[in-house]
A and B are shown apart, each in its own frame.
Chain A
């Protein structure tokens, strides 16, 4: 049984936003208009957070793509009264839109803020209606939605493997964000498979002490790993110089 995980190398990330767009197209995420952004209700299953580092002359823009962390002990799961969010055997934190009644407790209890609520009926311009992905449910108003590691791709690959009478090959599936990333900053794969790209990246990065996870100390065991930015300038400057 695979245990899906993701490695995001922040040293490679250039903050282009291709992952966000790819996810939007792949998962039928409604178009976020300007007023939806101003209402702070934009839906972006993977979002690019930008923050500034350093004081004025040496300010640096930093980017960090934030998908769902797919916590092993996800705090959003036990609080759902209708089992609309649950854990699959492959370690993915799933959302069942049909069961969801929209209590939004999962969003309250998610500290990465990666759960999104459909405050309005989702809308697409007519020109984009034929672009919708037939493999992914279009969510209605009043339900939560979130990143699910492109589960439809995984299921499709697993079914194909089953028909061909074999098991899933290493790195056979990838998510839309990982596929779209021009610098290969995002890698998706089976954490339990020692030959997979993510395992190799992690074991290498662990030697370099570059691995961390967001809000790791909450003890939820997230399955999205970040590799630290290698900043030669910053490491060259002595500490406390700023």
Chain B
């Protein structure tokens, strides 16, 4: 903690609340740029609603395409929030403090974006809400709970509720802070959201307990969400899909891409809001070290999945494996996943010099997510293209411009929502930052240096 720059309480408050009141030119560029892509996204989705799914590139063997791949990808990104804030909070990792809020918000927005995909991907989206909520009680028509597509919304909505509550609990003290320093509509908004927070001891105690409880309660959901998403594939009969290793494999993949996305976000926040005093190089260093472990775990499961497909010596499984490992264009895709997902970033992260370089961390984290998107495509598509020995039904999948716009637009959607959020709510948790400062205080007692504050939790 030597690099810590001593900051006064008021200085922290002023600097961290700054994005709320001032809009830098870069933020305007972000708003307009992302807004334009978002407009394309809205247009593409409306176009698809109006004309039907015929405007996509889906056809008979390839009934699921880009949108499902993107769905899995965004569910993966959403695992960052809990990884960073809940797990690191429970393990009391100090370096989590400046990124908890951003990671949690990204969790919520990427979950919402992910949820959008299976809904717009159905043939009749206006009826799809039927399977999210049990319907028609009086006619005894219930959703089929045997199907993974019913587990999906339940798992995702549980996760969304849990992480929204968690985020809100950690935001209450900051809302009170903002309430006391704003006027107009913002004052009304923050007054409502602060729930009468006065900052007395009892309130702090309850807020801390609630935070710990919620982070503990989210943990099982964290494992279950991506397991259930993986079962969308694993319970089917498609070769290379029905693997029992899918659940843990998807979870570790989700953490790999999610934590990398947090690095991207940290770099962007540093550049956009000039939070150099808060998101420091030591934070990049720590998250880089975490990523080495997570990335290696992911590689292990990636190889395990290939091994499990080869081990039973089942002809159909081997055929698809051969197709996606050695045949054009999937051989290139496999190489891309290996290189982008592991063999470029991880050796770079081993060196502390590179871990403390924001630009390098930013670009390697982008690489990981390109690799991880490709990995989801690699997992889902080849099995569908060459399902069983019906050679006359084998076909390639070519995404249409509508699907490509939806995929690109989903990135703009998450980015835009994050930007809007940081205009209304402080993107770094102010009270956690101050708490960190207090915890870092040390006293000289005789020859020993001890922490000034003893933690209760």
Interface residues of A (CB under 8 A from B): 39-41, 49-51, 75, 78-83, 99-105, 107-109, 111-113, 116-121, 141-144, 215, 218
For A120, give its contact among B52, B60, B131, B148 (CB under 8 Å).
B52
CB pair B123–A79 under 8 Å, yes or no, is no
CB pair B238–A103 under 8 Å, yes or no, is no
List B contacts of A75 (CB < 8 A).
236-237
CB pair A119–B147 under 8 Å, yes or no, is no
Nearest Cβ on chain B to A80's Cβ, whole angstroms: 6
CB pair B124–A143 under 8 Å, yes or no, is yes
CA distance A119 to B325 in the complex (A): 32
For B53, give its contact among A102, A113, A218 (CB under 8 Å).
A102
- The answer to whether residues A108 and B64 also contact, given A101-B127, A101-B131, A120-B52 and a CB cut-off of 8 A, is yes
CB pair A215–B388 under 8 Å, yes or no, is yes
Question: Which among B99-107, B188-196, B390-398 touches the partner chain?
Answer: B390-398
- Most chain B beta-carbon contacts within 10 A, residue among A50, A81, A142: A81
CA distance A118 to B235 in the complex (A): 25
CB-based nearest A residue for B121:
A103
- The answer to whether residues A102 and B144 also contact, given A41-B54, A41-B60, A75-B237 and a CB cut-off of 8 A, is no
- Most chain A beta-carbon contacts within 10 A, residue among B63, B131, B149, B384: B63
For B123, give its contact among A40, A49, A100, A111 (CB under 8 Å).
A100
Task: List 4 other contacts, CB 8 Å, given A102-B122, A105-B149, A108-B63.
Answer: A80-B149, A82-B130, A100-B123, A117-B53
CB pair B237–A142 under 8 Å, yes or no, is no
CB pair B130–A80 under 8 Å, yes or no, is no
List B contacts of A109 (CB < 8 A).
236-238
At the interface, yes or no: B89 with Cβ under 8 Å from chain A?
no
At the interface, yes or no: B387 with Cβ under 8 Å from chain A?
yes
For B60, give its contact among A40, A83, A111 (CB under 8 Å).
A40
The A-B contact count (CB < 8 A) is 120
Interface residues of B (CB under 8 A from A): 51-54, 58-61, 63-64, 118, 121-125, 127-128, 130-131, 141-144, 146-150, 232, 235-238, 384, 387-388, 390-393, 395
CB pair B123–A218 under 8 Å, yes or no, is no
List B contacts of A108 (CB < 8 A).
63-64, 236, 238, 384
CA distance A49 to B146 in the complex (A): 33
CB-based nearest A residue for B389:
A215
19 residue pairs bridging A and B, Cβ less than 8 Å apart: A41-B59, A41-B60, A80-B147, A81-B144, A81-B147, A83-B141, A83-B142, A83-B143, A104-B63, A107-B60, A109-B236, A109-B237, A111-B387, A113-B60, A119-B58, A119-B59, A120-B51, A142-B52, A215-B388
CB pair A82–B123 under 8 Å, yes or no, is no
List A contacts of B390 (CB < 8 A).
49, 111-113
- The answer to whether residues A101 and B122 also contact, given A79-B147, A82-B131, A82-B143 and a CB cut-off of 8 A, is yes
List A contacts of B147 (CB < 8 A).
78-81, 105
Nearest Cβ on chain B to A107's Cβ, whole angstroms: 4
List A contacts of B61 (CB < 8 A).
40, 113
CB-based nearest A residue for B236:
A109
CA distance A102 to B51 in the complex (A): 15
For A81, give its contact among B64, B125, B143 (CB under 8 Å).
B143
CA distance A81 to B145 in the complex (A): 7
Nearest Cβ on chain B to A98's Cβ, whole angstroms: 9
CB pair A99–B123 under 8 Å, yes or no, is no
CB pair B149–A102 under 8 Å, yes or no, is no
List A contacts of B141 (CB < 8 A).
83, 99
- The answer to whether residues A143 and B123 also contact, given A108-B63, A111-B387, A119-B54 and a CB cut-off of 8 A, is yes
- The answer to whether residues A141 and B148 also contact, given A103-B122, A107-B63 and a CB cut-off of 8 A, is no
CA distance A49 to B60 in the complex (A): 15
CB pair A101–B54 under 8 Å, yes or no, is no
List B contacts of A51 (CB < 8 A).
391-392
CB pair A78–B392 under 8 Å, yes or no, is no
- Most chain A beta-carbon contacts within 10 A, residue among B60, B127, B146, B390: B60
CB-based nearest B residue for A42:
B60
CA distance A16 to B301 in the complex (A): 51
CA distance A141 to B52 in the complex (A): 7
CB-based nearest B residue for A113:
B393
CA distance A3 to B438 in the complex (A): 76
List A contacts of B142 (CB < 8 A).
83
Nearest Cβ on chain B to A10's Cβ, whole angstroms: 16
CB-based nearest B residue for A86:
B144
